Amino acid sequence: MIITIITFIIVFGILVLVHEYGHYFFAKRAGILVREFSIGMGPKIWWKRKNGTTYTIRILPLGGYVRLAGADDEDQDELKPGTPLTIQLNDRHEVTSINASDKTTLFQGIPLQLVDCDLEDELWIKGYVNGDESEVKLYHVNHDAMIIERDGTEVQIAPRDVQFQSASLPARMMTNFAGAMNNFILSLVVFVILGFTLAGVPTNSNQLGKVNDNSVAAKAGLASGDRITKVNDTKISDWTDLSTSISSHPGKQVTITYQRDGKSRQTKLTPKAIERNHQKVGQIGIMEETATSFAARINFGWQQFVQAGTLIFSVLGHMVTHGFSLNDLGGPVAIYAGTSQATALGVNGVLNFLALLSINLGIVNLLPIPALDGGKLLLNIIEAIIRRPIPEKAEGIVTMIGFLILLTLMILVTWNDIQRYFIR
């Protein structure tokens, strides 16, 4: 269990880190201020500030986020009139730090009861100093000033020129898309790495690799290197065709047409009937041809990536056409259960699981659902079509509705996963 938990944290952490780094990297390139880059949720256990970004690790290793200036984080540091603050000034009497938290103090800070402020456009703050309500003092705020929020998190203020909406539409679209893109890249890289960890990678050809001794195939005269071209009248072009044809004839005689030394030959055999996943399938004791070349390993990684993506799209399509069940979805509990199974298969099992999860996360995040990256991209596309920004209020309402739907769905999926995997 300990190994499973550690593996789960590492796998989940890699997925989140790679996804959020995509948003972070392209936001930085576009001149958008990344106020915070967090791994995990809940109370922070470590933080460091560098180049305008506060990097945090939080106690719950489930998820993570980047806070982009002007994008969904306005309420977190909203300062209301009457709020007691402490401010710190530089040599030019500009405010460089604003402390709204009672969890920390500022060295030589000036106590201020807030009257009003503008931290986006004109950059000023005014209030009563040291409780003296006879005079309102006005201070200019430095463009790169820091604010310590109520929970003690120190982030940079968000002037208008570095906010998300100030970037060009293509830059914002790329920033929204980059998280999923990074997950696709991670999946492909891991599948390729997996190809190099195997002794040999399957070629998906119709040529036989190993033929087991005393197997149905061996007794019928088949040998390693034979190329199967037909099963009965069905043409065989690759291993998928061959395995499907053999599996579908348990206990039934078939005619195998194959090539050896450039000559076409035939033999008859009867696949042995075995039970797999509560169904009878045919088996003749052959193994797929494998290759060890560099190109073959790279191609294996690409083929696995394509097959995984195709499978996910087919599942999503089935959910749309036939209706979905909660059993078709999985949350952190299902990922933990899958991690346990993958861990039992060793390093290769974990790598395969990581690659599958990564492409899954990328595709799901691009679904046109409000609050997901795909929903944000849809709003970007609408903005491009109507050639004007979508009103912030309307965008906020749509995003909030999507968030509430996702939150409800996540709760239902999590409870369903608990019942499926832990309640017998």
Identified catalytic residue from 20, 36, 289, 395: 20
Q: In whole angstroms, give the CA distance from residue 127 to residue 132.
A: 9
Residue with tokens 């003749």, as numbered in its chain: 284
Annotated active-site residue 20? The verdict is yes
Give me the residues paired with residue 275 across strands. 280
- CA neighbours closer than 13 Å in the CB half-sphere of residue 64: 26
At 88, give phi and psi (nearest 5°): -125, 135
- Among 17, 59, 55, 51, which residue's Cα sits nearest to residue 33? 51
For the chain, the residue count is 424
DSSP for 350-408 reads: HHHHHHHHHHHHHHHHTSS-TTSHHHHHHHHHHHHHHTSPPPHHHHHHHHHHHHHHHHH
Q: In whole angstroms, give the CA distance from residue 386 to residue 179.
A: 26
At 128, give phi and psi (nearest 5°): -90, 130
Residue with tokens 């030589």, as numbered in its chain: 108
CB 75 within 8 A of CB 109: no
Q: In whole angstroms, give the CA distance from residue 196 to residue 228.
A: 27
Give me the residues paired with residue 156 across strands. 146
Active-site residue numbers?
20
